[in-house]
């Protein structure tokens, strides 16, 4: 039996995940943060079940969105086990995107309630990988005056 995943490990890992997304890190740097088997991710534009699906999604969003900021509001355990905890993550996300032939970029600012399941992993320095990820566990709460996805 593996050691329980600590709250400090979780907070460090969650921050690293969003930093990778904000910085548009290379796909090879993102894969170690994801479980290889049983991956199940839900995003507004579709579900992901494997690395190939993640790459397709990641390539699309990193070529669409820019000036991204994910600010972690809270990370709480919401069930699961000591070695595979379920989390509720609230993140404030801001991003811009440009759609031709528009003359200006659009900017969104929203709070997203996400549910994650993480598992122990030896693939990265955090000792954790995402196995389940629902980016829209609850409807997005948009800041007034910002664009909607």
Cα distance from N-terminal residue to C-terminal residue, the chain = 43
State the average pLDDT over residues 76-80: 93
Rounded distance between C-alpha atoms, residue 8 and residue 18, angstroms: 16
Rounded distance between C-alpha atoms, residue 122 and residue 7, angstroms: 18
Whole-number pLDDT of residue 12:
97
Q: What is the pLDDT of residues 24-48, one digit of tens each?
A: 999 999 999 999 999 999 999 999 9
Strand stretches in the chain, DSSP E: 40-43, 46-48, 65-80, 85-97, 106-120, 128-134, 141-142
Whole-number pLDDT of residue 29:
97
Closest of 71, 58, 73, 77 to residue 118, by C-alpha: 77
Whole-number pLDDT of residue 67:
97
Q: Do 33 and 129 meet the contact criterion of CB atoms below 8 Å apart?
A: yes
- Please give the class, per CATH, of domain 7-142: alpha beta
- The residues, any chain, with a CB within 8 Å of residue 64's CB and separated by 6 or more, are 97
Q: What is the pLDDT of residues 1-11, one digit of tens each?
A: 467 899 999 99
Q: Which two tokens stand for residue 130?
A: 């995402």
Chain-centroid distance, C-alpha 38: 17
Whole-number pLDDT of residue 2:
63
Q: What is the pTM of this model?
A: 0.94
Domain ranges of the chain: 7-142
């Amino acid at each position: 039996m593996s050691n329980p995943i600590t709250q400090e490990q979780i907070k460090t890992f969650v921050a690293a995940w969003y930093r990778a997304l904000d910085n548009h890190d290379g796909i090879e740097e993102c894969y170690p943060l994801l479980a290889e088997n049983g991956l199940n991710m839900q995003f507004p534009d579709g579900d992901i079940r494997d690395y190939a699906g993640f790459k397709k999604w990641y390539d699309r969003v990193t070529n669409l969105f820019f000036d991204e900021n994910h600010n972690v509001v809270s990370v709480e355990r919401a069930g699961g086990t000591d070695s595979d905890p379920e989390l509720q993550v609230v993140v404030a996300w801001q991003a811009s995107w440009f759609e031709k032939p528009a003359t200006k970029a659009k900017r969104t600012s929203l709070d997203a309630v996400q549910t994650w399941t993480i598992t122990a992993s030896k693939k990265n320095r955090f000792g954790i990988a995402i196995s389940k990820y629902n980016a829209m566990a609850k409807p997005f709460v948009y800041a007034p005056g910002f664009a909607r996805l």
